[in-house]
Amino acid sequence: MHLSQRITELTGGGSDGWDLFLKARRMIAEGTPVTELTIGEHDIRTAAPILQEMHDTALAGHTGYAAVPGTQDLRDTVARRIAARTGVPTTAENVLITPGGQAALFAAHVAACDPGDTALYIDPYYATYPGTLRGAGTVPQVIQARAEDAFQPRAAEIAAHAPGAASLLINTPNNPTGVVYSDATLRGIAEVCLTHDLWLISDEVYDTQVWEGTHLSPRALPGMAARTLVVGSMSKSHAMTGSRCGWIIGPEEAISHLITLATHTTYGVPGFIQDASRFALTQGEAFEAEIAAPFLRRRALAQRMLSQQNTVGLVPAQGAMYLMLDIRATGMSGEAFANGLLDSHHIAVMPGESFGQAAAGHVRVAMTVADDVFAAALQTLMTYAAERAQHNGVVRDIQT
């Protein structure tokens, strides 16, 4: 039987970026201990009070079909949260609850683009982005940010790719780089979207993990509320990765059509998950800061350790739960370095090339293990990098 090109070509005929992660998981399954610094999975689990709320509401009977747009209580709670955090008037009619941020990304592109439309996105990117765009029927077109710009995308380069495109996908705080887009960067992006009539799809799932600077939702910029679809999620802010509860924020007309799409695809999110998410969101900023605290602490630890050597560089770690490390002084690609580190020391990090070519010669490190384990793994990584640089004869100073 023939399978559709849409499904067989999701990865564009190449790797989907998960090879190293899958290799590490195979090693673990075979009995080899591996320190995993790969995916954005908290080393704590969902807090007990949230799980208790989930349990209580399920036992109370909220296990049938929930309202497809989301429960009224959760939509109202998300709307109040967004309005308070961004200053943009937002009601439940601007909110669709989705099965996690990944489903929201797909749905947003279905709303913004017709089949065959060009959908722009920034490299480095989260590994699922290109496949999500292809799955939505678009033609993905990548725009490279540059290491020398600390991976802040240039508005002029976006503008050069904008004619004829339908949408632009951005992510700040950024996965994989940890960079928070500046006010100037976002205003430049907004100007391009307004000039070229682009939908802006803004992935803001890390908005509670900002270590330097300020998160600015581009929906708050002049003229942008009518052309911006914001993707949010409970996964990172409340350590609810497995609960699969996210949302899209957008203009009422777009949300009304996205509800129709959800009716014909996901058919909503379980009611007891939504009740637990509503409860979690009412715990306030102090609770969210508690969830984020381990990553802020490990970032400071990494900054101290990295400042004591000159082989491994650190991309400004302004937000999110990752470090992007520059290992070009070793003379190795990110892929070769990550595979070598895994094979020789059983430490798994993600090659920069998993997230596009702009991050070649880098590796992404998830700060998702206990502090002592993290410090030991980072020390081993630095030692391995210094050894490889000496072996290859390409030692050079890297600014940390």
Specify whether 236 is located in the same domain as 128: yes
Specify whether 209 is located in the same domain as 292: no
pLDDT at 121: 98
Read off the CATH number of the domain in which 68 is found: 3.40.640.10
Burial class (CB in 10 A: 0-12, 13-18, 19+), 98: buried
Contact yes or no for 155/27 (Cβ under 8 A): no
Q: What percent of the chain has pLDDT over 90?
A: 94
pLDDT at 171: 98
pLDDT at 269: 98
Residue with token string 């090879």: 19
Specify whether 86 is located in the same domain as 210: yes
Contact yes or no for 230/172 (Cβ under 8 A): no
The pTM of the full predicted model, rounded to 2 decimals, is 0.94
Residue 262, SS3?
helix
CA gyration radius for the chain? Answer: 21
Give the range of the structural domain holding residue 227, as residue numbers without chain letter. Answer: 64-283
Contact yes or no for 210/319 (Cβ under 8 A): yes
- Could you give the angle at which helices 19-29 and 334-345 cross, rounded to 10 degrees? 10
pLDDT tens, 62-117? 999 999 999 999 999 999 999 999 999 999 999 999 999 999 999 999 999 999 99
Q: In the listed set 265, 283, 301, which residue is the last one of a domain according to the structure?
A: 283
Read off the CATH number of the domain in which 31 is found: 3.90.1150.10
Which residues of the chain are under the pLDDT cut of 70? 394-400
Residue with token string 């992404």: 364
Specify whether 250 is located in the same domain as 310: no
Specify whether 191 is located in the same domain as 109: yes
Specify whether 317 is located in the same domain as 351: yes
Q: Structurally, how many domains does the chain consist of?
A: 2
pLDDT tens, 47-57? 999 999 999 99
